[in-house]
Amino acid sequence: SSCTARTIRRRGQSARATAGAVRYNPTAMSGGGMVARLLAADGEVGLAVKVYHKVNLALLGLTPVALAVDSTALSFPVDMGLAFAFPLHGHIGMNYVLTDYVPKISKAALAPARGALMGVTALSILGLVKLNLEGPGVTGTLKSLWRGAK
């Protein structure tokens, strides 16, 4: 089996009986450009899972570091890492949700839903970067929820 097409076997069927059943991979069928890969972030199962898990591990490490280094020279690079990692993690995870549930409503709605998700992800990244550049940063903003009024 390859990354672009996998044979799906049902219980009791031989390989020959399921030779025509192929898993749809939008990335492989759309030319494989960067935008296509981001729109269908769950399409390349191996790559998406690896990136998703690596970003998850990075967030597990960055989040406590961000709380510890707030208001120091390290807070800006850590906040910038969080500004990209949180939306990327959410984007890949939500693509899995879209792939599972949107086709149950309408198969034609999957591409627009992924486009909308790409817009939400892009706006999230831009908003968090702006917060880091012009405001107190991601960590400073979150910590302000627990600080008393000045």
Assess whether pLDDT exceeds 90 at residue 71: no
Say what the pTM is.
0.70
25-40 pLDDT, tens per residue? 444 444 457 667 666 7
| Banded model confidence at residue 15, pLDDT cuts 50, 70, 90 | very low
- By CB atoms closer than 10 A (0-12, 13-18, 19+), residue 128 is buried
What one-character-per-residue DSSP string does 134-145 give?
A: HSSHHHHHHHHT
Name which residue leads in pLDDT, 131 or 43.
131
